[in-house]
A and B are shown apart, each in its own frame.
Chain A
């Protein structure tokens, strides 16, 4: 469905020296610097898969999405989606894809939402019957009814995002690109949107590429993730595999009957492990200890705690993916 092979994108950037002097000299003589935003990445996505595309800010996610949607032309490498090359014959290619850029809107700012949909119906040449069916479906999963007659500028962010998502799917695209579709939304709306994405994926076998900073999105939607950093792919595989590979960590959350007892605990010394294998985080009453389960068993950790202090409340969890990603980003930065 989606083939990305050895794709690289470079930008030319003007280098400006700082200060007024720099500004003036750059008026006459400009020096350029080549920035490699995406560096030789390859991945394939089969039909019907939801792929999570993650990375820190500026890692090259958006640039990649822009190449896949035909907006940017790669400096080198090949992209083939739906049997077409995105940046060649743009008009034909975009007919079969849907795109949401969470930070922008494709809706007509001053017009009621219904107008945007009818313009889109014409643009994509959707038959009336098909259009009605589609609208009914989107209405049901995204609950557009309550604001469909209001001008877009009066919508709340959550409403707008739901509308944008609907607008990207009005023509039943084969591939859907969602660039941060949950940015800035509250938990309820996020859940709503996730539910809608899942439903659409299951009903229509839509292939979806999703970028996000909210790892809960990834956890509830994607089986597979691609992580990118500084333009390079750092990880490509299933979520569970990543967890077992990088996530040998567990965390114990607990609170104490008497807070002063916290002094009795000194984990690193008592367990005789290195500092990076155990991390203690204390916020008000709640204490979180993250530890490497391969070096300290859950059992020994629990018995250690129960022996030393009086515990009011305790729970043991998998480390969430956020923690894993943080560690991976950190690793790359320090070069370890």
Chain B
């Protein structure tokens, strides 16, 4: 086990340094994404103002603001380039450089990406979270932050990230069969955005539709951790939500392993 961590920790370290190598690009990314958050915030504000009510389907304006910023934050935390990176490696054949090393393909990509996540957490996540808490304190007049919810949120985000990683990895492996997955990649993003509640909170969908959406793996990605952070889940509901995340995670890991073993058998390496 220690050996395992020693091996993959070196990938994470390299990942951090790699992210540092392109600081400017990273800062621009952070800035661009924050602007997007504000756009979403103003859209929802307009909706609230025009409805005239102080609460909308159980969400107050404060809730909505927190949801917008937090769900975007979770979006960053769990976003992964594994589809594109893997597909690119398969497309140009450089995947073989990974295969000649005594490491697992998925772990090595994951460990490297975690290095990038370290940057996201320190440079984006922590500042925005503090901002959200200040906002809540100012509008509500008391400290709404709860350590218990936060810890559960951390656990849930980790599950979400792994879920997202393996989901994307599966799409990446498809490149073995399709060789170019650009179209699929776009389709995948739209599906995830819509079904995960990143665009519209799932709570706003009509009953039956919502019930179906909530069982799908996509809901576990953004919606569940965000709702946990906001303290909207308690007791059984909470346990059920986390259980669903674990279930889907195991399913995706299994599927990705299966596809990889299939792919290895019919692997055709492109380009020399």
Binding site for B on A (CB under 8 A): 11, 62, 66, 69-73, 87, 90-92, 94-95, 97, 99, 101, 103-106, 108, 110-111, 115, 118-119, 121-125, 151
Contact = CB atoms under 8 A, between A and B. Distances in A.
B22 interface: yes
Given A108-B18, A110-B22, A11 B101 contact: no
Contacts of B3: 125
A111 B14 contact: yes
B18 A111 contact: yes
Interface in B1-55: 3, 6-7, 9-11, 13-14, 17-18, 21-22
Chain B at the A interface: SS class: helix
B14 A119 contact: yes
B10 A108 contact: no
Contacts, number: 76
Contacts of A118: 10
Contact of A115 (B6, B17, B94): B17
Interface in B63-106: 93-94, 96-97, 99-104
18 contacts: A62-B272, A66-B269, A70-B99, A71-B96, A71-B100, A73-B265, A90-B99, A94-B100, A97-B100, A101-B272, A103-B272, A108-B14, A108-B18, A110-B18, A118-B10, A122-B9, A123-B7, A125-B3
B235 to A, nearest CB: 44
Interface in B237-272: 264-265, 267-269, 272
A91 B100 contact: no
Given A118-B10, A123-B7, A123-B10, A94 B264 contact: no
B14 A123 contact: no
Given A62-B272, A71-B100, A106-B101, 18 more contacts: A11-B268, A66-B96, A66-B269, A73-B267, A90-B99, A94-B102, A95-B102, A97-B100, A101-B96, A108-B14, A110-B22, A115-B17, A118-B10, A119-B11, A122-B10, A123-B101, A125-B6, A125-B7
Interface of B: 3, 6-7, 9-11, 13-14, 17-18, 21-22, 93-94, 96-97, 99-104, 264-265, 267-269, 272
Contacts of A121: 10
Contacts of B18: 108, 110-111
Contact of B102 (A62, A71, A124, A151): A124
Contact of B100 (A11, A99, A115, A119): A99
B93 A104 contact: yes
A91 B21 CA distance: 30
Contacts of A111: 14, 17-18, 21
Interface centre among B11, B96, B269, B272 (most CB of A within 10 A): B272
Contacts of B22: 110
A84 to B, nearest CB: 12
A119 B13 CA distance: 9
A71 B105 CA distance: 13
B272 A106 contact: no
Contact of A91 (B6, B14, B104): B104
Contacts of B96: 66, 69, 71, 101, 104
Given A122-B7, A123-B7, A151 B100 contact: no
A62 B13 CA distance: 33
Contact of B103 (A71, A72, A91, A99): A91
A104 B267 CA distance: 18
B91 to A, nearest CB: 13
A71 B269 contact: yes
Given A72-B269, A111-B14, A105 B102 contact: no
A247 B266 CA distance: 42
Nearest to A57: B272
A99 B14 CA distance: 21
Contacts of A119: 10-11, 13-14
A62 B269 CA distance: 10
Nearest to A99: B100
Nearest to A177: B100
A90 B260 CA distance: 13
